[in-house]
Amino acid sequence: LNPKKNKQHHILNSSSGHMPAVRVWDVAERTQVAELHEHKYGVACVAFSPNSKYIISVGYQHDMIVNVWAWKKNVVIAANKVSSKVTAVSFSADSSYFVTAGNRHVKFWYLDHTKSSKVNATVPLLGRSGLLGELRNNFFSDVACGKGRKANSTFCITSSGLLCEFNDKRMLDKWVELRTSMATSLSVSEDLIFCGCADGTVRAFSPTDLHFICTLPHPHSLGTDIATHSLLSLQTENVRYPDTVAVSYDPTNRWLSCVYNDHSLYVWDVRDLRKVGKVYSALYHSACVWSVEVYPETRDGEQPRLSPGSFLSCSSDNTLRLWNTDAQNTTLSRNVISNDLQKVIYMDSNTSPLLDTDCTISSNSEKADPQTSDNRTGIRTMCVSPDGLHLASGDRNGTLRIHDLESMEEILDVQAHDSEILCLEYSKPETGLKLLATASRDRLIHVLDADREYGLLQTLDEHSSSITAVRFATNDGKVRMISCGADKSIYFRTAQKTEEGTAFTRTHHIVRKTTLYDMDIDPTRKYAVIGCQDRSIRIFNICNGKQKKVYKGSQGEDGTLIKVQTDPSGLYVATSCSDKNISIFDLYTGECVATMFGHSEIVTGMKFTNDCKHLISVSGDSCIFVWRLCPELTINMRQRLSDLKQNSKSVQKTPPNKQHTLGYNASQSNVRKSVTSLHNFSFFDSLILLMLFNVRSLSYQQSNICEHEGSGPRPRRRWSRRMGSMDLKVKSMLDLRQLESFAMPLFPSKTQDIHKDLPLPRNQELGSTISLQTIAAWVNFI
């Protein structure tokens, strides 16, 4: 694929599952331009014709159909049945025929252009089987039509390791052994044939006479330490390499792209086959990714163990991986394998979980039963300590491991539970305690003292089913623990000091009619946000255990909520549903502000980055997506974070108010602080600011008068944010690069831009729109 040089404009992809489709995408516009729904079970392979007029789609074995699609007209011009399992398809150079290959199957299909152009209906597709001879019982894993002088030939490879050539009579002309245990893919050009084989082997042949030319270098070995790995290191005898599952050759740049079954990608420079060089490489998870954690921001004066912007992931491939996607960060120590992946922590020396065996399944070996093939390996959950020193992880066997993030060495390995660990949670610094809570499918919660080598403090057994989430929070001077589970129960506990240490006692027990799958605590530590099986988000007050709000947490009408995650400011909550979609809701109003989709399996974890610019999601499809958030959302989150920091400073100096709400209001102390700093600005700036503050002060006095007037009792406040909040909100779509110093008070220097940059608040916020009009008039007049 090289759209700039090869004049390619479209990408073709297929799908499986419910209503499988063949889709065509425009590369430049990044939009879908065509869609075909003619298959019932799934699409095994697709191909463009060289003249870009037709698309070939072959269905799964039970689908038993091959279609020729004039995609620009959205019409199927020819079709036929195919009873064999087909794994590959290739068009001839002149677009007059195409070849399918599969289990004991090589078939040539011929297009009658004159007949198909005259008839509007779908015509039968003419097919002729290849004459396989003594190779008729082989599984043909890939096929490619010849080019240039060998345009009349067709090349195939068998899973047993044979490279075959068919002539223009469809007869098997010659073949050569690849000397490998398995062959999976090939790519053909006018000068070269590349064959992907087992154990990371890629061999090059001449298409003229199938003469062997060379073997390309191996990729990294399984279980290698990428932080110290060098491609020039000597190869040892006992190492194991991933199998090559796909190869694609770019004759323009003379680059060969190879995909291996550990989900790694290499691009080799093959201009000189005697000196092959690496152009690019990347390494990813090879199995379901269960959790993602963003490395926390350290306090002032503390030295971070990891680079800013780093995040970690854990997977069923039995690894923990450290990532950093900041290409501008010059402090990162790059490695020779991946630009994004910084470190891989292997749980043991077994390399089998690192391989995706589904990539290399042949016709002779059906897919293994998941229940029998599951060896209960993989990291199920993890959590980073708030100080950034330790990483706790729990696997599917109930083993708890602690790693030191500075040395990346394991410092603890203990069998904590009888079943898989579903949740880990460190207590926050404001609690004054260093605790680690582990929750498992065995219905138990263990509370460990991180300050005393993770000694056991308490075991809680109130839950009657799997525990899906446990969280710490502190408010009203008390340390609390909240847990929820598949037993539809929520337990609120409060920490007590005992002779043995800290112990948690139950204060509230809430039962709902639906399973509770995940939970998060808002930054104010007052509310617990819970995602439920009925696709609802339920908000509970941590102090009294009462439900404060409930609203729909998914745009779809099917499925259940899997994960919930609040952003660092507490303005928004992200949810993942079993329909594979991600949604972002306003935490106060329940309004959906963004939806995202792209994962092919359920989303198992989400985290907002510390800079509020991105949302990271991980999924059962082994992929990690980094989503760029709308600039307006970033502005709102950063403004709320700035307000929370200012409020926390004022709370430390003044006693707290008696009443607390999730909203946040302007205080007179902030007005005084702003007024005292007016001497730093010009006379005109000071005049305008004094006008704004007078209006806000007048509104504040009016609101106080309204609160004291009336003989009736004061009505109960809504849970959502007060409409009477007097904070001025920035609603403009600023460029994110201007937000790095967002917390600093910035004022415009040009007088004519003051009324333009400030938004027009609601009537309730400033008391009167006439006052704002007066200010704007003053600005224009002056």
Nearest to 277 by CA among 194, 341, 336, 192: 336
pLDDT score of 298 = 80
Sign of CA dihedral 131, 133, 135, 139: positive
**429 token code pair:** 């610094």
CA nearest neighbour of 23 among 52, 55, 53, 50:
55
Q: At CB < 8 A and 24+ separation, what contacts does 279-282 make? A: 279/255, 281/219, 281/336, 281/337, 281/338, 282/337, 282/338, 282/339, 282/340, 282/341
Task: Indicate if the pLDDT at residue 691 is higher than 60.
Answer: no
Give the full edge-to-edge strand order of the sheet including 603-608: 603-608, 614-619, 624-628
Residues of the chain with pLDDT > 70: what percent?
77
Read off the pLDDT of each residue in 197-220 and give the average, rounded to a whole number. 95
Distance set, CA 560 to CA 58, 489, 515, 563 (Å): 33, 17, 9, 9
Contacts of 20 (CB under 8 A, 6+ apart): 14, 37, 39, 40, 41, 42, 43, 59
Residue 184, both tokens: 């999976």
Closest CA to 157 of 181, 131, 184, 132: 184
| Residue 235 banded pLDDT, cuts 50, 70, 90 | low
Q: Look at residue 373 and tell me whether its pLDDT is greater than 60.
A: no
State the number of CA atoms in the 13 A half-sphere of 560 facing the CB: 13
pLDDT given at position 665: 39
Helices (H), 257-400: 370-373
> Which residue type is seen at 1?
L
CATH superfamily of 1-129: YVTN repeat-like/Quinoprotein amine dehydrogenase (2.130.10.10)
Mean pLDDT score of the chain, rounded to an integer?
A: 82
Please name the residue that has the structure tokens 């869609």.
Answer: 35
Q: What is the pLDDT of residues 109-167, one digit of tens each?
A: 998 765 555 556 788 899 999 999 889 899 999 999 999 999 999 999 999 999 999 99
What pLDDT does 181 receive? 93
Q: Is the pLDDT of residue 271 over 80?
A: yes
**CB neighbour burial string for 686-718, b if at least 16 within 10 angstroms, e if fewer:** eebbebbbebbeebbeeeeeeeeeeeeeeeeee
**pLDDT at residue 685 tops 60:** no
Phi-psi region of 535 (alpha: psi -120 to 50; beta: other; left: phi over 0): left
**Distance (Å, rounded) from C-alpha 59 to C-alpha 64?**
6
- What is the separation, in whole angstroms, between the first and last Cα of the chain? 61
Residue 698: predicted pLDDT: 42
Q: Give the pLDDT confidence score for residue 649 in this predicted structure.
A: 65
pLDDT in tens, 20-74: 889 999 988 889 999 988 888 889 999 999 988 899 999 998 888 999 999 888 8
Q: Strand locations in 427-466, DSSP E?
A: 435-440, 445-449, 455-460
State which amino acid sits at residue 149: R
* Mean local confidence (pLDDT), 470-497: 95
**Better-scored residue on pLDDT, 430 or 373:** 430
Q: Is the pLDDT of residue 678 over 50?
A: no
Parallel/antiparallel/unpaired status of strands 202-205 and 212-215 = antiparallel
Alpha-carbon distance 92 to 367, whole Å? 32
User: How many residues belong to the chain?
Assistant: 782
Domain ranges of the chain: 1-129, 670-705+722-782
Residue 436 C-beta-side C-alpha neighbours within 13 Å:
27
Mean of pLDDT values over 271-284: 94
Q: Would you place residue 754 in the very low, low, confident or very high pLDDT band (cuts 50, 70, 90)?
A: very low
Bridge pairing between strands 75-80 and 123-124? parallel
Q: Which run of H or E residues covers position 13? A: strand 10-14
Query: Rounded to whole angstroms, how far apart are CA atoms 159 and 360?
Result: 9
How far, in Å, CA of 475 to CA of 425, rounded? 17
